[in-house]
Homo-oligomer: A and B are copies of this chain.
């Protein structure tokens, strides 16, 4: 989908330079949608707030009413990518289902939402700006999610009895994020990964064999949390 490919009706209220072009029910959402597209397509450093305003069809001054600086737009976009899986990760902390099921459920939902996102916003994790003080809060939130993966992975490994696998507990979080690289390279969300990555995660933690039972339990658990989605199979 390219910029300006869709036009919704002009809403009442604020004057606009031209027809609404972006997805989103509020000006703020439209700005985020346009910025996500431009940042991922052309690069964060190569995109001006002027270009974002133009893509929305608003004046630059109106954009500054919502976001004081380009960094604030980036911060809001990044926050969204972590905000989606975070509540599930939090809930999984205390659930009385086996760790392997909880880890599978988290990875499954997370890969799915990274595929389902309209733009590949998580590709922005790699830009050097994220290492600055401005993005410290985002880094802390992402670290929290990462630790949740590691805790669940450690519990999954411990119960399996396989040896030499403990160094792998850092890798499930990383393997989930490879979906972002695959999407960048292929230009399309890799639907097959929604199932293949959670499967691979459990196997690399030393639990081979059929995963049908783990998958069924994870599905039932997610369903009980009100989360339903296609499994990519």
Contacts and interface: CB of A to CB of B under 8 A. Distances in A.
Interface of A: 40-46, 123, 125-129, 131, 162-165, 167-168, 170-171, 174-175, 177-178, 181-182, 184, 192-193, 195-197, 199-201, 203-211
Contacts of A175: 171, 174-175, 178
Contacts of A207: 208
Nearest to A192: B167
22 contacts: A40-B128, A41-B128, A43-B45, A43-B127, A123-B126, A126-B126, A126-B181, A162-B208, A163-B210, A164-B210, A164-B211, A167-B192, A168-B203, A170-B182, A170-B196, A171-B200, A175-B175, A178-B178, A203-B203, A203-B205, A203-B206, A208-B208
Nearest to A125: B181
A147 to B, nearest CB: 13
Given A174-B181, A178-B177, A128 B199 contact: no
Nearest to A197: B171
Contacts of A211: 164
| SS class, residues of chain A in contact with chain B | helix
How many copies of this protein are present in the complex?
2
A209 to B, nearest CB: 7
A171 B184 contact: no
Given A43-B45, A126-B123, A208-B203, A177 B181 contact: yes
Given A40-B128, A177-B181, A196 B168 contact: yes
Contacts of A41: 128
Most B C-beta atoms less than 10 A away, residue of A41, A167, A182: A167
A209 B162 contact: yes
A195 B129 CA distance: 31
A196 B171 contact: yes
Contacts of A44: 45
A136 to B, nearest CB: 13
Contacts of A42: 128
6 nearest A-B residue pairs (beta carbon):
A45-B45, A167-B196, A208-B208, A174-B178, A126-B126, A200-B204
